[in-house]
Structure 1
Amino acid sequence: MKCEYRYPNSKDGTITKVLEQFWITGNDHVSFATKKEYEGRVTNSCSRQKKRCTLRITDLKESDSAVYKFRFITNLLLGSYTGEPGIQLSVTDLHLTVSVQRKDSLNSILTLKCSSSCVLPPKSTYVWYENGQKINHDKSTYSINSDSLDSISCAVKGHEDFPAPLIYAPVSPSLSADPSADIFEGSSVTLRCSSEANPPANYTWYKKTKTSTLQPLSRGSEFPLNNIQSSDSGEYYCEAENQLGKRRSTNLNVDVKYPPRLPSVSVNPPGEIVVGGSVNLTCSSDANPAATYAWYKENTASPAADGPMLTIVNIRHEDGGNYYCEARNSRGQHNSTLQLIVVTSSATSAIAGSITFLLLVGLFVVAFFIFRKKMA
C-alpha cells in the first residue's frame, strides 16, 4: 500500500518539519505496527524528500482485514493529518468445514467441504491431501470414515501453494495441576487439559474407578476442585474430542494431604488383664502422609512405646490405669485414650477365699467352746 502526501512548507513563520510517519487501522491514532500480532510482519518505507510512504505486510492473515490509513505528525500546532477514507484490505482464505453425516457405535462418516470467500472461476476443481498424501479426488466435498483419518487439507487446483489450514484429530492431551505442589485438605486446585486440534477440541473429565462404568465429572478445559477433601484423592484424566476423533490423556494423581483422624485403639486379650499376664495395646489412624505413633501412660511425660503397638509383659497391679495413643504427621496430631484394668487371677482368689472361710470357721468353733465352758 502506497501513500503520497503534501503539506505547506511553513505556517505563521514556522518551517514545517515532519516528525512521524506511520499507518493506522480504523480510527486508532497509534501505529498498528506496534501491536504484537504484527510483530516482524510490517515494513513502512518512507521518503520525506519525495513525500511518499509504502506499507508492506507479509504473511497475511484473515485477521489483517481492515481499513488502513496513513498518518503523519508535524511540528505545527494542530499539525497532525490522516488520509481519508483509507485503503480497505480484505484477506480471504480457503476454509475446510466438517460435518458428521452418520455416527454409530462402530464409526463416523465425515463430510468435508472445501470453500473460499473468494469468487472462484466456474468449474474450479480441488486438490485433497489425506494424512499428508495427495488423493485422487477433485470435488469440493469429500466423505471419509473418521477411523482412517489423522489429518486432511485441501486447495484449489492451480493454487496448491495456498492450501486450507490442516484439520486433524486431537493429539495426546496434556494434564497439569495448579498449584502443582502438595495439595492439602480444605484447599483448592484446578486441573487443566490441553490438546492441539483443529477444529478445537472439547474436553471431558473423569476419575479412575474400580468399576468399568464411568460418569463424566465435568466438561471444559479446566476442572476446579474447591475445598478439596481426602475422598477427592485419586487418578484423574481427560478426553479431548472433535469431529475427527477422540484422544485420552494419561492419568494425573491427586494426592490430598490431611492430619490423622481420631485413632482407633484396641486391647488384646480384651477385657480385664490378670496379674502376671501380657497384653498388647494397638493404635491405628487414617492419615496422609502416614502417621507415626507413641503410647503414653497417664501422668507420665516419656512415651511408654514408640510405634503403633505397646506390649506389656508380666503385668503388675501398678500397670493398670489410663493409656493414650498419639498419632502424628506433618499436618497435625490426634489422641485416643483407653483404660487398662488389672485383676488378681481367679485361682489365687479362690484359694484366698477358702483360707479365709476356714479361718472364720475355726474362730467360730473356738468361740463356741469358750462360751460353753463359761456356761458350765
Structure 2
Amino acid sequence: VSDKGIYSDIVFSPGLQVKVTGGHQDKTLTCSTTCTLTDNPTYIWYKNGQHLDESTSPQYKDPVSSNYEDSYSCAVKGHEDLRSPAVCVQGQDCNRVTYTKRTICALKGSSVDISCTYFSLYNITSSLWFSPKQSDSWRDKSTPEDLTTDPGHAGRVEYAGEKERGRSTLRITDLREEDSAEYKFIFNTRTSRWGYSFPGTTLTVTDLQVKVTPAAVTEGERVSLTCITTCTLTDNPTYIWYKNGHIVKENTSSLYSDSFSAADSYSCAVKGHEDLHSPAVCQKCWSVTYTHQSICALKGSTVNISCSYTYPSYHEIKKAFWFTKWESGIDAEDLNLVPGYEGRIEYLGDNESDSTLRITDLRLSDSAGYRFRFITSGEKFAGSPVSLTVTDLQVKIRTSWFSTWVTLTCSTTCTLTGHHTYIWYKNGHKVKEDTSSSYSDYCNTEDRFTCAVKAHGDLHSPAVCVRGQKCWSVTYPHQGVCALKGSSVDISSTYVSGYDTITSSLWFSPKRSASWKDELIPEELTTDPGYAGRVEYAGEKERGRSILRITDLREEDSAEYKFIFNTQTSRWGYSFPGTTLTVTGLQVQIKDPTNIIEGKELCLFCESICFLQDNTSYIWYKNGQRLIRHETKYLYLKPVSSEDTGRYSCAVENHEDLHSPEETLTVRCEYVGYNYRTTH
C-alpha cells in the first residue's frame, strides 16, 4: 500500500520552498531558498513522503506528471528533518496531512495539544495518532497502533477536534519525560493509508531547574538566577520567581537577580502552571523537595509519598506532618486528625530531613493534593502539593458481531506510577502476564474476563462479559473486610448463571482445604467443625444474592471466603478471588511512652491490625468509666497532667462489650528549681 501525505513546518532561515513551473502536463520542480546555501549541498527529493532522488542541483531532474494525488518536498542532505513544506502539483486538492507545529516543548506534569489538518480525495474509513517510538510494542511493527491503547499513555490521551471535518488534535495530559517523541497522524481510505512516512510533530518534555551564577558566592553578593529547561518552551511563556515561597517577579524573561543570603531559597514556575515549580535552590534555606510531583495508584493498594526538607542549621524541628486542605489564615490540619484516614496513614522518616506519608487501603476519595509541613523553634514551612490520583481497574472490550475475536484493555483513569505488569484472567484462570495492558483472544459468548496488576493481584477489575450481561459471574462487593474479634460479619456476593439453572450453591474457605475429603472439591462451610454453630446463610430467597454470616468471630477466622454455584454441566466461582476477612482485637498504644512528663502533649491510640469500615466511632474509658466527647481512635491529652494517671481502654460503638485490655498510664511531674528536681 502506498503511503502519502504532507506536512507543514515553522519557517527556518533560510527556509526551503518547492517552486512549480511549466505547462499543464509536465511540471518542473525547484528546491528554492532565499539565499544561496554554502558548501554546495546535496538536495534530496521526496514524492508522497518516499525518498525519490538525490542531486547537487536544486532542480529535480525529470519532468513531473500532473497526477492530482502526488505531492513533493525537498531537503538538504545532513538536515533531512528540515524538509520543505510539500507542494501538490495540481493546486491544493491532493491528499495531505499538515501539522500546526513541527516541534513543541512542554513542561513535565502539564498537558499539550498536538494538532493537524488533513484532506483526502477519497472517503476516510479510519484515522489515528501514533508514535514510532512505541513500535516495539505493536503486534506488527509496520502497522501503527492507536496511541489511546498504549499502556504507557493509559488515561492520559484523548482526541479532540474530530467533529470539525479535516482537523484532529491529540491531547496528552500529565506529561512525563518519556513522552518526548515524534507523534504522527494517519488516515485510511479503502485503498491506501496516508501520513505514515512523513515527519510529524516532535514533542520534548522538560522540567524546570534554577541555575545560580556565579556558583560560589558570598553573603550579600549579587547573583544571577536563570530558570532553565532542556528545550525552549513553546508560546513565549511568562516566568514567575519565588523567594522563600513568595512571588517576587513575573516576567517573560527567564532571568532574575538578587542579593545573596544563605538562608534564602529560590524557585521558578511558568504562568498557567504555577503548581509545577522547579526544585528550590539554597544553601541553608527552607525547602521541601518531593520524590514525585504526581502519583497514580490503585484503589485498595498502599502508596508512599516521600520528600526531603532543609532548614537553617540553628533551628530545631518541633513538629512535622502532612495535610491536604489549606486556606489563608487557617492552620493546616494534620492528616492524623482528619476523619476517614484513621488507621490508614503512617509517618515514616528521621524527623530531621526526610518524611514519607504512607496511606493504606486507598480509596477513590483519597485523590487530592498532599503537602508536607514542618514547624521549628522559630518558623514554619510547607512544600507545594503532590497530586495523588487513585484509580480502579476496568476492562474495556472491543468485539465484532461477525467474529469471536475480541480485544480487551485493562483501563485506568490515570497512568499508574512506575512500570507494571498486567495479568489477564479468563473465567477465573490466568491466561496472560505482560507489560501491555491489552489482550486479544477468541472467546465464547459465556466467557468473562478480569485484569489485575502484578504485586496487586488481589485487586482485580470487575469482570466483563463478552456478550452483554448474560454470562456466568460471581461478584463480591468487598474484596477485603475487617471485623472485631467476638463480633459478627456478613460477607455477600451476587451471581448470575446466564440461561442455566443452578442446582446447588455453597460458601467455602480455601484455608480449610486440608480438611476436605478431596482438596479440589470445596466443602460447605456450615459442615466445618471449626465453624459449628457460628455460620448461617442469608439472602438465598432473593435470586442472585447470597450472604455468609459468621458470628462470635475468632482470630483464626481470618481467611478468604468464596461463593460457588453448580449447574447440571459445570461449577462456577472456584478460581476467582473472593472476600478476604481479617479479624482484629483492640489495643491501646501510647505514643512516646518513655517520655510522659506533665505539661507536654500526649496521644493515646486505639490500634487494630486492619482498618475498621463504616465510619467507626470509638469509645474511651479511664478506670472503667466512659470519657465523654472522645469519638475518634486518638485520645489527645493537651497538656497531660498527673491527674491523667490511670488505666485506659477503648472500644467501638455498638460493640462496647469488646473493649481492649487496659493500659496503665503514669505521668511524671517535674519541678525544676535553682538546685533541686523532684518527680511524683
Normalised to the residue count of structure 1, the TM-score between the two structures is 0.32
Higher-Rg structure is 1
Q: Which structure has more helix as a fraction of its residues?
A: 1
Which structure would you say has the larger RCO, counting Cα contacts within 8 Å and 6 or more residues apart? Answer: 1
